[in-house]
């Protein structure tokens, strides 16, 4: 057996990562030995987004403390759709699509946990494996019989949906909790898994599984939920003007990912350090105090962005993100060499090639996506929001050609304070 770090719970609490636990004293006692725990990830898209980062990292924290993590990919539950705290019934995705997504998620999830740790290697499991062959009658008799509908409709996670005018819930979604509960019970049976973690919205589903496991196997298992990540200004965490922040570099470049964290508000950044990094409490406190003393621009955002980008995209991904960020925000674009610019291309900076001999600035803005329409492009130019190679441009009919570019080939177009696009002339 692997040695167990029994300060784990205290560390999680220090980080603010514990929302609720079932029987806290018993759980603390239980975790004195190496245990098996799981967390589920449903395929609702072709990639996970940063909303899943907290549970993924907590799985890792458990593994580092000597426990064995199972990352469950919801091949079965993903076909149903979790209604928990969702305002509306969701559209079902096709079976093919879900199967593709499951494959993607398996890979993604795997990056956060270790598979060759001797005593407590991680495993990825798919609930489709034990759900696909259960026939309806068996399911209703052996599993469904343990659930009381009156208890299920009391669950806070579906209550608001039931109470809300203009919305309802199908039996399919209503039955979701039974499927997830069945997972916990099965994992207990197959792996002796005795703890499920998840977001705070999963409390109802987790306690459902605990009850089912007790009824089917007369076993005491545990649940722990993590807090919902909230921002001080009340807006939703994980979204920017350009949409969701994904963990897949093809959907959100390392650069964009890094920038997302750099832009964390002061009011949130110290909390996020605790949630999303493995820095020790002492290190984090030191950062906070230095920032307070310094008065100027805090360093916390930079630390957070670097740590999280490294966790998700590796050291190389971080370096790429840093190269782009430093080039663009240093304000010294003219000092970039041709090689530097070439590297930005490779690093995943938003960029495009053109074969044209010349382009109007309005065209460039629209084609690069920096402006949604010609009208908006003109508006940006007149508002002084656009600069090229570091120089503000305010002529609506400006025209670009290779000759005016850096090294006769590149234009760095900036719209607003933070959005860039690199244009290369072929």
Partner RNA sequence: GGUGGGGUUCCCGAGUGGCCAAAGGGAUCAGACUGUAAAUCUGACGCGUAAGCUUCGGUGGUUCGAAUCCACCUCCCACCA
Beta strand spans in 207-300 (E): 222-226, 239-240, 243-244
Question: Of 16, 119, 408, 416, which one interacts with RNA (CB under 7 A)?
Answer: 416
Binding segment (CB under 7 A) for RNA, from list 37-45, 144-152, 188-196, 290-298? 290-298
- Asked if 415 is part of the footprint of RNA (rule: CB under 7 A), the reply reads yes
**DSSP one-letter string for 352-388:** EEE--S-EEHHHHHHHTTSSSSHHHHHHHHHTT-EEE
Whichever of 104 and 239 has its CB closer to RNA, that residue is: 239
**CB 152 → RNA: shortest distance, Å?**
15
- Asked if 373 is part of the footprint of RNA (rule: CB under 7 A), the reply reads yes
Binding segment (CB under 7 A) for RNA, from list 64-72, 109-117, 270-278, 378-386? 378-386
Crossing angle between the packed helical segments 300-329 and 338-347, to the nearest 10 degrees = 130
Whichever of 99 and 398 has its CB closer to RNA, that residue is: 398
Whichever of 71 and 371 has its CB closer to RNA, that residue is: 371
The CA-based angle 189-191-192, given to 5 degrees, is 65
**CB 200 → RNA: shortest distance, Å?**
22
Q: What is the total count of residues that contact RNA (CB under 7 A)?
A: 40
3-class state of residue 97 by DSSP: helix
Question: Of 325, 349, 411, 422, which one interacts with RNA (CB under 7 A)?
Answer: 325
Q: How far apart are CA 165 and CA 163, in angstroms?
A: 6
Stretch 51-110 residues interacting with RNA (CB under 7 A): 89
Q: How far apart are CA 219 and CA 366, in angstroms?
A: 61
Whichever of 46 and 89 has its CB closer to RNA, that residue is: 89
What tokens appear for 282 in the block? 């002492």
Whichever of 145 and 418 has its CB closer to RNA, that residue is: 418
Contact 359, 400 (CB under 8 A): yes
HSE-CB at 93 with a 13 A cutoff on CA atoms is 20
| Count of H-run helices and E-run strands, the chain | 18, 15
Whichever of 28 and 376 has its CB closer to RNA, that residue is: 376
Whichever of 189 and 323 has its CB closer to RNA, that residue is: 323
Q: How far apart are CA 162 and CA 180, in angstroms?
A: 20
What is the C-alpha radius of gyration for the chain, rounded to an integer number of angstroms? 25
Question: Of 356, 374, 394, 404, which one interacts with RNA (CB under 7 A)?
Answer: 374
Binding segment (CB under 7 A) for RNA, from list 73-81, 182-190, 210-218, 381-389? 381-389
- Asked if 379 is part of the footprint of RNA (rule: CB under 7 A), the reply reads yes
Sign for the CA dihedral angle at 104, 109, 112, 115 comes to negative
**CB 136 → RNA: shortest distance, Å?**
22
**CB 90 → RNA: shortest distance, Å?**
11
Question: Of 104, 378, 398, 424, which one interacts with RNA (CB under 7 A)?
Answer: 378
Spell out, one character per residue from 216 to 235, where the chain touches RNA: x when CB under 7 A holds, - when not.
-----------------x-x
Whichever of 196 and 259 has its CB closer to RNA, that residue is: 259
What tokens appear for 37 in the block? 């725990």
3-class state of residue 13 by DSSP: helix
Question: Which residues are paired to 388 by β-bridges?
Answer: 391, 413
HSE-CB at 314 with a 13 A cutoff on CA atoms is 6
- Asked if 332 is part of the footprint of RNA (rule: CB under 7 A), the reply reads no
Binding segment (CB under 7 A) for RNA, from list 54-62, 212-220, 255-263, 350-358? 255-263
Contact 254, 309 (CB under 8 A): yes
Q: How far apart are CA 6 and CA 147, in angstroms?
A: 35
Whichever of 181 and 264 has its CB closer to RNA, that residue is: 264
Stretch 151-210 residues interacting with RNA (CB under 7 A): 162, 165-170
Residues engaged in binding RNA (CB under 7 A): 89, 162, 165-170, 233, 235, 240-241, 259, 262-263, 265-267, 296-298, 301, 325, 329, 372-376, 378-380, 383-385, 415-419
């Amino acid at each position: 057996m692997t040695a167990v770090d029994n300060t784990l719970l205290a560390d999680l609490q220090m980080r603010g990562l514990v929302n609720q636990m079932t029987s806290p004293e018993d759980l603390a006692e239980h975790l004195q030995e190496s245990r098996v725990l799981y967390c589920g990830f449903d395929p609702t898209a072709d990639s996970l987004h940063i909303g899943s980062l907290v549970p993924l990292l907590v799985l890792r924290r458990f593994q580092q403390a000597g426990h064995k993590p199972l990352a469950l990919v919801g091949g079965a539950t993903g076909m149903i759709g979790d209604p928990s705290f969702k305002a509306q019934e969701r559209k079902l995705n096709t079976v093919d699509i879900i199967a593709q997504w499951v494959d993607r998620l398996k890979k993604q999830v795997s990056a956060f946990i270790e598979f060759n740790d001797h005593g407590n290697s991680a495993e990825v499991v798919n609930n489709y494996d034990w759900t696909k062959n259960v026939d309806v009658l068996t399911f209703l008799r052996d599993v469904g019989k343990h659930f009381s509908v009156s208890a299920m409709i009391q669950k806070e996670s579906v209550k608001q949906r039931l109470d809300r005018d203009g919305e309802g819930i199908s039996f399919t979604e209503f039955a979701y909790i039974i499927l997830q509960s069945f997972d916990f019970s099965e994992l207990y049976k197959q792996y002796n898994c005795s703890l499920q973690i998840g977001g705070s919205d999963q409390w109802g589903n987790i306690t459902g599984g605990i009850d089912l496991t007790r009824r089917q196997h007369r076993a005491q298992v545990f649940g722990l939920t993590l807090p919902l990540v909230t921002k001080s200004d009340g807006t939703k965490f994980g979204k920017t003007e350009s949409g969701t922040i994904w963990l897949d570099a093809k959907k959100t470049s390392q650069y964009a990912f890094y920038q997302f964290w750099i832009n964390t508000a002061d009011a949130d950044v110290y909390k996020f350090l605790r949630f999303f990094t493995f820095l020790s409490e002492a290190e984090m406190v030191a950062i906070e105090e230095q920032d307070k003393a310094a008065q100027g621009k805090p360093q916390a955002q930079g630390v957070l962005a670097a740590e999280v980008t490294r966790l998700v995209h590796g050291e190389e991904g971080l370096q790429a993100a840093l190269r782009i960020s430093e080039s663009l925000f240093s304000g010294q674009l003219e000092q970039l060499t041709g090689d530097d610019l070439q590297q930005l291309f490779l690093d995943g900076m938003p960029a495009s090639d053109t074969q044209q001999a010349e382009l109007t600035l309005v065209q460039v803005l629209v084609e690069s996506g920096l402006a949604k329409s010609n009208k908006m492009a003109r508006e940006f130019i007149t508002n002084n929001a656009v600069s090229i190679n570091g120089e503000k441009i305010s002529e609506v009919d400006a025209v670009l050609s290779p000759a005016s570019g850096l090294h006769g080939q590149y234009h760095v177009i900036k719209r607003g304070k933070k959005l860039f696009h690199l244009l290369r002339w072929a």
